[in-house]
Amino acid sequence: MRSVLNRLKVFASALKRDVVALWIAARDPRTPWHAKAVAGAVAAYALSPIDLIPDFVPVLGYLDDLLIVPLGIAWAVRLIPVQLMAEFRAEAMKKAYKPKSLIAAGLIVILWIVSIAICAYWVMSLLR
């Protein structure tokens, strides 16, 4: 049981490091443009202080944390050349802070507002 917990801690630590490495990769001119796009999107979402699906929503709330973010990280890492990714990981290990993506948070808030407005319009049209 203890080894499983240790492996999960190592895995979570590697994910956190890779998110920062992808944030670095998205800004590096040596990263291919398609890898930059995926890395930037994944890092922005993972570093956003607001989730697309709030954690209080049963089951779906943790879906992004358990599936979407790790799969996005894996996809972005595959698009970045191995030597560059190793360099980005080493740089991420040196960073003492975790960046925040306020732009992604803003986009998520806008998405929620638009969704609520659409739902309100739909409910109002049903009540007429």
Q: Which domain holds residue 57?
A: 2-127
pLDDT of residue 87: 92
pLDDT of residue 1: 64
Residues in the chain: 128
Report the predicted TM-score, pTM, of the whole model to 2 decimal places: 0.67
Question: Mean pLDDT over residues 65-71, rounded?
Answer: 82
Q: Which of 34-43, 59-68, 74-83, 112-121 has the lowest mean pLDDT?
A: 59-68
pLDDT of residue 103: 74
CB 22 within 8 A of CB 75: no
Q: Which of 59-63, 71-75, 112-116, 123-127 has the lowest mean pLDDT?
A: 59-63
Residue-by-residue DSSP string for 45-112: HHH-SS-SS-TTSTTHHHHIIIIIHHHHHHHHHHHS-HHHHHHHHHHHHH--S----HHHHHHHHHHH
Rounded to 10°, the helix 69-79/2-25 angle is 50
The number of distinct structural domains making up the chain is 1
- Using one digit for the tens of pLDDT, what is the confidence trace for 10-64? 777 788 888 889 989 999 999 999 999 999 888 888 877 777 777 777 777 777 7
**Confidence check: pLDDT of 82 > 70:** yes
